[in-house]
Structure 1
Amino acid sequence: MSQANLQRVWPEMTEDLSPEQMALAALRAEIDAVDDELLRLFQKRLSIAARVGHAKDAPHGPHTKLRPDREQRVMTRMLSGAEPENVDAVRGLWREIVGWGLARQGQLQVHVWAPTDPTRHFDGARQRFGMAAAIRMVRDPQAALRFAAEGLGVAVLAVNTDDPWWLGLRREWSSLSVFEGFGGEVPTSLAVGKIDPAALPQGRRVVVTAGGDAGDGGGARRWGINTHHGWTLALTDAQLTPGEAEGCVGAIG
């Protein structure tokens, strides 16, 4: 960048700057220009997100407006185009961008229940849903499930506990679907909400079944998460349909 252009950006520039100072000033001017463009595009994206929200307000059934499948496709596309050293930064940035876009359609309410190590579960929810979401800790998993079942928001509940709340996903909370897992390959908490089954992410299915986690005999592998009185909460590679007899209660990407 020429000194004349630099002086247009920063009129206080003087001609007695060293070459090193000039080089640094030029880089900062480039960053300022990029920031201006990022701001313009981000605000444009928020405006479009608000219009998407209005389109979603058309009759669409009893489910929330969350589309985990769409978010998964966007994230996959962004990460595929990211430089390897930027993948983590891009993932975090896009979670925030998507979260603020969703907020233009109504602030997302998230109830988190985790009697052990609550900070870790809260942080997992924050990283997934972004700073725009209203996230609060609650003391009763059944109240969190009721909150989600009424369509008021979503619930994130720990599964590495003695409370088998997940059995309710086949019983009184059958309107809810698991759509996200936190804590690693075998999750320690799950996100549930009134998600359209067609909008679940591509990935392992979450099942609640009688018996162990040895699999179904069809070659599909299972990963046990928790057990209670002969019932098992597990992940499976089998492509099951939520709500069917196989005990599928959702999916995680």
Structure 2
Amino acid sequence: MALGAALMTLSACGGPESGGGAKNGGAGAPGRAAGAGRAAQPRPAVPVGDPTALPGVGERLHAEIPADSSQVLAVYGEDSADATVVLYSLRGDGWRPVGSWPAHNGRNGWTADHHTGDGRSPVGVFTVTDAGGVLPDPGTRLSYAHDVDAYAPPYYWDSAHQHDFDYVIAIDYNRLRGAPPHDVTRPWGAERGGGIWLHLDHGSGTSACVSLSGEAMRFLLRTLDPDRDPVVVMGDRADLLA
């Protein structure tokens, strides 16, 4: 059963141009710094505008942000696998950027109708409640599942991908909030995909997840606060503004 769960979980994020695969029991070298040696990608311009509204996010998606949310992680996609991630904090009467990082999304871009294997990241507003990874908890207030067996990539993934799941943050798309990221329950059905995570970057597009540097992941894990009801708003710029 554990192996089956790992297969389904890893197939969601996938490996080098694969649909995922079986894991083995060994993690990447735990002494290596997460995300070490991965080159930063060019960072697209971040939208600016009325500070009382999230920059680059239209009324439709803005209305889906819960009223109690005061932390928003915006993923600004392009017509490609390149993206920019900005963490905003609601302070006084406006949203203020706290950090900004280059990132990658699905290798085939974005979709408002994500299905398993399409290589596209889902567009929308999603809560963030749970995290985990191969490495121990770096000091997050999110629920954290430290589990080498659940998150170690399979041995046959190339070296660039062996640290992808050192840290992961589950995006609550087609999953049970409060469950660890590797939980394979899919409330909308398996065909709608799942296992959509923030995880470490390997320098190119993913199967559907959003990937960032190890430094960015550690910052987010230490900064996201369940008491502030954090959410991810993600999509290509046209869909974000629709």
TM score, norm. by length of structure 1 = 0.23
- The structure whose Rg is larger is 1
Q: Which has the higher contact order (CA 8 A, sep 6+)?
A: 2
Would you tell me which structure has more helix in proportion to its own residues? 1
Q: TM-score, normalised by structure 2?
A: 0.24
When you count strand as a share of all residues, which structure comes out higher? 2
